[in-house]
């Protein structure tokens, strides 16, 4: 029984911090405790959650994607410019972009390059392409996408439904499927994956492609919410997605990730922004305060991990 | 035995790592229902032969036949039922036992794979290690080392679509206690009786003798003997591993037995023999690789240096064995690689005096015979042996009175070795103490006194003429199960 509890521990801390933050927000602003209130609070969390899942897949194979923000911006620009009138062209471009990610994964493995350097370089490529497609803020959201994002399902707001669906889907792919096992195995001990007769190259490419697919969805969701795009729309996402994964119980190395935790991490990060606004902290200080929240949660995790390790050792 | 009934046979296989011949034209075959024990001293080529058989290493020459057909690569080997339990644990620590099972067996796919994998691994564990008490849904990282080893063995013995035909066990009992080791050996006998094949590598000769049907002895990349196990005893096996040509020329030196002890350590874990070293002595650490020699050296070094502050008076210097990993600064020149160990000696007011540094470099270049036209050439322009000379010079140039050496002569040609040996001798006579871990018998024989390690403790102390290959081999392999 103790083993099952410690298995849930990584999820428990992010979930707990989300609940505490939510309680604080409700205490300060009781009107947020409504259908519309919740939707407003978590609306922008949907694209962040998708980007966090994308980053998590990259981190599961011991890499880091520093081009996440610009890639999501690029996907958003493509969606806003081509999707309403030429959906076929838009799909082709986005599929090609996913293909480029797969190739990046393969090159990184083949040449044994540091993913940070490669993706940092690619971030300028994606940023440049986004500017070429959409030099000035504009474009429009396709009607169906807009309708999907502002849909009002009964009882539970769309933002919550979408988050649950994303978490469930990612959990299924990464934690339950055999493909997910292989991807996480790559992060844990890539040599033993190779020794078991798998192609590390193909797996890495597939993992990168899957991450890109989630990032594309993030870009589309963002356009659906904001109804237009801008080449710099999602630059923050690079660091937000990394923070979300870590906040959700993931680790930089070793293939230890949690999709449900990552979505919760993304929600917590979004909520932290609103929480600080409710506190009437000036925007100048908000970034710093957000960082402080991050540090507190991570310190909490470290303390709990350490004490549970001591318990195991004794 | 004909080639067709062999599960795996390799013919005239050659593998070279640089100047070192790891396998020198080896013929080797394992038949159905055969348990082959593979023994040999360090660097005899045991691990290399394992890697060739499991497809992880393609030989530079020769061919590999799986069930009579040529093939190469890990996937081919696995398709022919070759499984391998590696010496170092190779499970993914972040995955559960069931997920690791899935990783090793591509046949486990489709809906409900978790349930099927759990049943398979649980059955396999129950068969091999009854009463194991391992939770199949636990993350491997939370298991103890012995439990991980048990899981890895169980995974490799189970069959999903087709049963395993050959299981290679490389030191499988190194982290298991006697009871578990006996359970494993019993299972190996059952598996072999059922028509499976096993290749067993172990430093516990009792295990090899009692479990295998045939024993293959390797030495210097060659198979020297291959006979039924019944024809061997612990004694004759040790003799078979020894060198064919006995060298008797050993530099006899009157050891300074009265000199003060510069290191004096109690026995590890209360077992084995206490360790000490006298001034001006060359102390050898012998035994099979990875049995605690490097750990002892690192421990000695850590004891001597401060944990927090850089100390100016260094008592000990360390010569690393793995040059590329923790010896050289690959982007620096030879001179800088040399002078980094002793910068304070030619620094003036926190800046380096280039002229003195260069003079120092030329001095040591002559002393050690470093073969380079210019000390400012990059370190990587040197051969491995000459790089090692630079590392030696770095250690010797300092004030350190004790030099720790972690198998530094790995992959160095014989000429260079002789030069370094002479330097060591000279320095020892001037009162420096050397603690030398070496995997080569010839080097160990140069020492004044030798400690033999097994399973992390010192099991024997040999001195003077007692330092012979036979004695070292006999003590590094234990007769009975540990």
Q: What integer pLDDT is reported at residue B425 of this predicted model? A: 86
Nearest-CB residue to B94 (from A3, A188, A312): A188
**Complex prediction ipTM:** 0.86
Question: In B, which residues are within 8 Å of A185 by CB distance?
Answer: 92, 94-95, 99-100, 103
Cα nearest neighbour of B99 on chain A: A181
Mutate to test the interface with A, among B52, B95, B155 (most CBs of A within 10 A): B95
* Helices marked H in chain A: 2-28, 35-42, 45-60, 68-82, 87-110, 115-133, 143-149, 158-171, 178-195, 200-226, 237-247, 259-278, 283-313
Q: A188: which chain B residues are within 8 Å (Cβ-Cβ)?
A: 92-95
pLDDT digit string, tens, across residues B333-361: 999 998 888 787 788 887 888 888 898 88
Q: With contacts defined as CB-CB under 8 Å, which chain A residues touch B135?
A: 3
Q: Are B188 and B169 in contact (CB under 8 A)?
A: yes
The pLDDT value given to residue B249: 47
Q: Which residue of A has its CA nearest to B140?
A: A188
Name the band, by pLDDT with cuts 50, 70 and 90, for residue A2. very low
Domain that holds residue A52: 12-302
Q: How many CB atoms lie within 10 A of CB A53?
A: 32
Give the other-Cβ count within 10 Å of B299's Cβ.
Answer: 13
Q: Which residues of chain B neighbour A196 with C-beta distances below 8 Å?
A: 74, 78, 103-104, 106
Pick the residue with more confidence: B288 or A244?
Answer: A244
Determine, for residues B94 and A193 on separate chains, whether the beta-carbon distance falls below 8 Å.
no
- Considering only CB atoms, A181 lies closest to which of B54, B93, B99, namely B99
Q: Where are the alpha helices (DSSP H) in B141-200?
A: 145-157, 178-193
Return the sign of the alpha-carbon dihedral for residues A87, A90, A91, A92: positive
Distance CA A35, CA A159 (A): 10
Find the closest chain B residue to A3 by CA distance: B138
pLDDT > 90 in chain B, percent = 16
Cβ neighbours of B137 in A, within 8 Å: 3
**Among A42-56, A281-295, B30-44, B202-216, which is the least confidently predicted range?**
A281-295
Considering only A9-18, A35-44, A154-163, B185-194, which range has the smallest mean pLDDT?
A9-18
Using a CB-CB cut-off of 8 Å, the residues of chain A touching B142 are 3, 6, 312
Q: By the 8 A CB rule, do A211 and A54 touch?
A: yes
> Does B102 sit within 8 Å of A178, measured CB to CB?
yes
- Residue B245 pLDDT class (50, 70, 90 cuts): very low
Please answer whether residues A94 and A78 qualify as being in contact, where contact means their C-beta atoms are separated by less than 8 angstroms: yes
Q: What are phi and psi of B58, to 5 degrees?
A: -90, 130
Determine the distance in angstroms separating the CA of B94 from the nearest CA of chain A, rounded to an integer.
6
Structure tokens at A120: 């940092």
Q: For residue A62, give the nearest of A209, A207, A176 by alpha carbon.
A: A207
Alpha carbon of B87: minimum distance to chain A alpha carbons (Å): 12
For B26-48, what is each residue's pLDDT tens digit?
Answer: 898 999 999 999 988 777 788 88
Residue A140 belongs to some domain of the structure: yes
Q: How far is CA B55 from CA B28, B72, B83, B85, B98, in A?
A: 15, 6, 10, 14, 25
B interface test, pick of A176, A192, A252, A254 with most B CB neighbours within 10 Å: A192
Mean pLDDT, to the nearest integer, of B244-271?
61
Q: What is the pLDDT of residue B441?
A: 78
Find the closest chain B residue to A195 by CA distance: B74
Chain B residues near any Cβ of chain A (below 8 Å): 54, 56, 74-75, 77-78, 84, 86, 90-95, 99-100, 102-104, 106, 108-109, 113-114, 135, 137-139, 142
Residue that wins the pLDDT comparison between A284 and B153: B153
B248-315+400-482: same fold as B3-241? Answer: yes
To the nearest whole number, what is the mean pLDDT of chain B?
83
Higher-pLDDT residue of A57 and B302 is A57
Q: Do B74 and A197 touch (CB under 8 A)?
A: yes
Rounded (10°) angle between helices A237-247 and A45-60: 70
* Predicted local confidence at residue B416, as pLDDT: 77
Q: Which two tokens stand for residue B62?
A: 């020769």
Question: A195–B90: do the CB atoms touch at under 8 Å?
Answer: yes
Cβ pair B86:A194 closer than 8 A: no
Domain count, chain A: 1
Residue B68's alpha-carbon distances to B3, B9, B81, B92, B400, in angstroms, are: 6, 8, 13, 33, 59
Q: What is the pLDDT of residues B58-113, one digit of tens each?
A: 888 888 989 888 888 888 888 888 999 987 778 998 999 999 999 988 888 888 88
Residues B393-448 pLDDT 10s: 888 888 788 889 888 877 677 777 788 888 888 888 888 899 998 877 778 888 88
DSSP state of B246: P
Chain pair A-B, CB pairs under 8 angstroms: 68
pLDDT exceeding 70 applies to what percent of chain A? 95
DSSP B73-97: SHHHHHHTTEEEE-SS--S-TTSBH
Whether A189 sits inside 8 A of B90 (CB atoms) is yes
CB A62 within 8 A of CB A193: no
How are strands ordered across the β-sheet holding B20-31? B20-31, B6-17, B61-66, B69-70
Alpha carbon of A312: minimum distance to chain B alpha carbons (Å): 9
Nearest to B103 among A193, A256, A312 (CB): A193
Residues 6+ apart with CB under 8 A from A169: none
Q: Say if residue B248's pLDDT is above 70.
A: no
Query: Do the Cβ atoms of A192 and B90 come within 8 Å?
Result: yes
Q: How far apart are CA B340 and CA B360, in angstroms?
A: 12
- Which of A3, A181, A192 lies at the smallest CB-CB distance from B138? A3
How many angstroms separate the CA atoms of B221 and B22, rounded? 5
Best residue of A1, A61, A181 to probe chain B, by most B CBs closer than 10 Å: A181
B170 pairs with which residues across the strands?
B201
Phi, psi of A153 (to 5 degrees): -70, 155
Q: Are B332 and B309 in contact (CB under 8 A)?
A: no
Residue A267 falls within a domain, yes or no?
A: yes
Interface test with B, best of A2, A6, A61, A185 (most B CBs within 10 A): A185
More confident residue, B258 or A90: A90
For B79, the closest chain A residue by CA position comes to: A197
Tokens (6 digits) for B102 = 């899935």
Closest residue in chain A to residue B56, using alpha carbons only: A195
Question: Which residues are CB-contacts of B224 (< 8 A; sequence separation ≥ 6)?
Answer: B217, B218, B240, B244
Q: Which of A35, A5, A41, A37 is nearest to A269 (CA)?
A: A41
Give the integer Cα–Cα distance in Å for B280 and A248. 58
Quick count: other Cβ atoms within 10 Å of Cβ A158? 19
Q: Give start and end residues of each alpha helix (H) in B242-312.
A: 293-304
- Whether A4 is in a domain gets the answer no
CA of A33 to nearest chain B CA: how many angstroms apart? 39
Rounded to whole angstroms, the Cα distance separating A268 from A286 reads: 15
pLDDT at A70: 97
Angstrom distance (rounded) from CA A194 to CA A179: 15
| Residues of B whose CB is below 8 A from A197 | 74-75, 77-78, 106
- Average the pLDDT over A285-309 and give the result: 80
The predicted-structure confidence for A91-117, as pLDDT tens digits, reads as follows 999 999 999 999 999 999 999 899 999
Rounded to whole angstroms, the Cα distance separating B457 from B267 reads: 8
Closest CB to B95 among A185, A195, A312: A185
Query: Per the CB < 8 Å rule, is B106 touching A197?
Result: yes
CB atoms within 10 A of CB B329: 11
- Structure tokens, B356: 């003195």
Evaluate whether residue A290 is within a structural domain.
Answer: yes
- Which candidate from B92, B113, B137 shows the least CB-CB separation from A189? B92
Nearest CA in chain B to A186: B92
Going from the C-alpha of B356 to that of each of A46, B253, B339, B360, the distances in angstroms are 65, 37, 10, 6
Interface touch B103/A3, C-beta < 8 Å? no
Tell me the pairing of strands B35-39 and B214-219: parallel
Query: How far away is chain B from the Cα of A4, in angstroms, using its nearest Cα?
Result: 8
pLDDT band of residue B23 (cuts 50, 70, 90) is confident
pLDDT band at B143 (very low <50, low <70, confident <90, very high): confident
Q: How far apart are the first and last CA of chain B?
A: 34
Question: Can you read off the two tokens belonging to residue B469?
Answer: 């290959």
Inter-chain residue contact A178 with B108, CB threshold 8 Å: yes
- Determine the Cα–Cα distance for residues A101 and B370; give it in Å rounded to an integer: 49
Condensed to tens digits (0 to 9), the pLDDT of residues B174-230 reads: 778 888 888 999 999 999 999 899 999 987 888 889 899 999 998 888 888 899 998
pLDDT at A275: 85
Identify the closest residue of chain B to A181 by CA–CA distance. Answer: B99
For residue B214, list its beta bridge partners: B36, B228
Place of tokens 């890639």: A71
Q: Which two tokens stand for residue A93?
A: 């471009």
In chain B, the residue whose alpha carbon lies closest to the alpha carbon of A61 is: B94
Tokens of A165: 């669906």
- Given the structure tokens 């109690």, which residue do they identify? B266
Which one is predicted more confidently, A33 or B88?
Answer: A33
What are the tokens at A62? Answer: 């011991």
Helix (H) or strand (E) holding B262: strand B261-265
d(CA A180, CA B209): 43
- pLDDT(A311) > 80: no
The H or E element spanning position B336 is helix B334-339
Mean per-residue pLDDT, A80-90 = 94
Would the CB atoms of B102 and A256 count as touching at under 8 Å? no
- Could you give the dihedral angle defined by the CA atoms of residues B136, B142, B147 and B150, in that order, rounded to the nearest 10 degrees? 50
Task: Give the lowest-confidence range in A202-211, A226-235, A287-296, A303-312.
Answer: A303-312
Cβ of B94 within 8 Å of Cβ of A192? The answer is: no
pLDDT above 70 (res A312): no
In B, minimum Cα distance to A180 occurs at B99
Most confident region among A20-29, A94-103, A232-241, B4-13 by mean pLDDT: A94-103
The alpha carbon of B103 is separated from its chain's Cα centroid by a whole number of angstroms, namely: 27
Residue A286 CB burial class (10 angstroms; 0-12, 13-18, ≥19): middle
The reply to whether residue B90 touches residue A191, judged by beta carbons under 8 angstroms, is yes
- Specify the CATH architecture of the domain B3-241: 3-Layer(aba) Sandwich (3.40)
Residue A180 within any structural domain of the chain: yes
pLDDT, tens digit (0-9, with 9 covering 90-100), for B296-310? 888 888 877 665 666
CATH code at B248-315+400-482: 3.40.50.300
Give the torsion sign (CA, B20, B24, B29, B34): negative
Q: Which of B103, B135, B139 sits opposite A196 (nearest CB)?
A: B103
């Amino acid at each position: 029984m103790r083993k099952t509890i410690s298995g849930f521990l990584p999820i428990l801390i992010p979930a707990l911090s989300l609940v505490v933050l939510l309680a604080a927000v409700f205490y300060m602003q009781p009107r947020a405790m409504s259908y519309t209130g919740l939707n407003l609070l978590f609306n922008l969390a949907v694209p962040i959650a998708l980007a966090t899942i994308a980053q998590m897949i990259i981190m599961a194979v011991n890499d880091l994607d520093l081009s996440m923000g610009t890639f999501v911006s690029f996907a958003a620009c493509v969606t806003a410019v081509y999707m309403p009138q030429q959906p076929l062209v838009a799909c082709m471009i986005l599929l090609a972009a996913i293909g480029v990610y797969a190739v990046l994964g393969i090159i990184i493995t083949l040449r044994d390059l540091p993913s940070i350097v490669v993706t940092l370089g690619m971030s300028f490529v994606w940023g440049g392409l986004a500017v070429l497609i959409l030099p000035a803020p504009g474009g429009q959201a396709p009607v169906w996408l807009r309708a999907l994002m502002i849909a009002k399902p009964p009882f539970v707001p769309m933002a919550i439904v979408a988050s649950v669906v994303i978490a469930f889907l990612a959990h299924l792919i990464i934690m339950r499927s055999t493909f997910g096992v292989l991807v996480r195995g790559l992060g844990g001990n890539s040599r033993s994956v190779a020794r078991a007769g798998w192609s590390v190259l193909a797996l890495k490419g597939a993992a990168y492609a899957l991450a890109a697919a989630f990032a594309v969805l993030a870009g589309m969701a963002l356009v659906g919410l904001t109804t237009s795009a801008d080449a710099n729309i999602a630059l923050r996402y690079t660091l937000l997605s990394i923070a979300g994964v870590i906040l959700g119980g993931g680790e930089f190395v070793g293939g230890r990730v949690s999709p449900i935790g990552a979505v919760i991490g993304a929600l917590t990060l979004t909520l932290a922004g609103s929480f600080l606004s409710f506190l009437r902290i000036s925007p100048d200080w908000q970034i710093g305060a957000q960082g402080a929240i991050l540090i507190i949660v991570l310190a909490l995790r470290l303390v709990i991990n350490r004490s549970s390790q001591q318990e195991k050792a004794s | 035995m004909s080639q067709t009934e062999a599960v795996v046979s390799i013919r005239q296989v050659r593998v070279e790592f640089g100047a070192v011949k790891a396998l020198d034209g080896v013929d080797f075959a394992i038949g159905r229902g055969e348990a082959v024990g593979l023994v040999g001293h360090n660097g005899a080529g045991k691990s290399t032969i394992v890697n060739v058989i499991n497809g992880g290493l393609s030989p530079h020459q020769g061919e590999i036949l799986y069930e009579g057909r040529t093939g190469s690569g890990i996937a081919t080997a696995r398709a022919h039922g070759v499984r391998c339990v590696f010496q170092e644990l190779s499970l993914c620590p972040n995955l559960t036992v069931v997920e690791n099972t899935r990783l090793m067996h591509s046949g486990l796919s489709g809906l409900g794979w978790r349930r099927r994998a759990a049943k398979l691994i649980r059955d396999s564990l129950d068969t091999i290690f009854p009463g194991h008490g391992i939770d199949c849904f636990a993350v491997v990282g939370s298991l103890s080392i012995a439990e991980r080893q048990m899981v890895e063995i169980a995974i490799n013995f189970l069959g999903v679509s087709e049963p395993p035909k050959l299981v290679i066990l490389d030191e499988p009992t190194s982290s298991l206690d006697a009871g578990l080791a006996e359970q494993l050996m019993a299972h190996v006998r059952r598996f072999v009786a059922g028509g499976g094949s096993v290749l067993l590598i172990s430093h516990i000769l009792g295990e090899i003798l009692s479990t295998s049907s045939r024993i293959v002895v390797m030495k210097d990349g060659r198979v020297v003997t291959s006979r039924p196990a019944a024809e061997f005893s612990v004694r004759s096996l040790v003799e078979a591993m020894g060198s064919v040509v006995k060298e008797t020329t050993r530099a006899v030196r009157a050891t300074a037995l009265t000199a003060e002890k510069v290191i004096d350590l109690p026995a590890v874990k209360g077992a084995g023999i206490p360790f000490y070293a006298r001034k001006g002595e060359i102390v050898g650490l012998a035994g099979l690789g990875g049995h605690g020699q490097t750990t002892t050296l690192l421990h000695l070094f850590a004891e001597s240096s401060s944990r927090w502050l850089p100390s100016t008076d260094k008592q000990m210097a360390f010569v690393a064995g793995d040059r590329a990993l923790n010896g050289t600064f690959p982007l620096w020149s030879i001179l800088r690689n040399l002078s980094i160990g002793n910068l304070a000696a030619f620094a003036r007011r926190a800046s380096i005096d280039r002229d003195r540094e260069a003079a120092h470099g030329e001095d040591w270049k002559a002393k050690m015979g470093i073969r380079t036209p210019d000390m400012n050439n990059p370190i990587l322009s040197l051969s491995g042996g000459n790089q090692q000379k630079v590392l030696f010079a770095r250690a010797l140039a300092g004030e350190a009175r004790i030099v720790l050496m972690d198998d530094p002569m790995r992959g160095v040609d014989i000429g260079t070795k002789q030069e370094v040996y002479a330097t060591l001798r000279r320095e020892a006579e001037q009162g420096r103490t050397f603690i030398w871990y070496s995997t080569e018998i010839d080097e160990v024989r140069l020492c004044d006194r030798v400690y033999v390690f097994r399973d992390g403790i010192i099991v024997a102390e040999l001195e003077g003429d007692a330092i012979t290959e036979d004695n070292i081999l006999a003590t590094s392999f234990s007769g009975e199960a540990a």
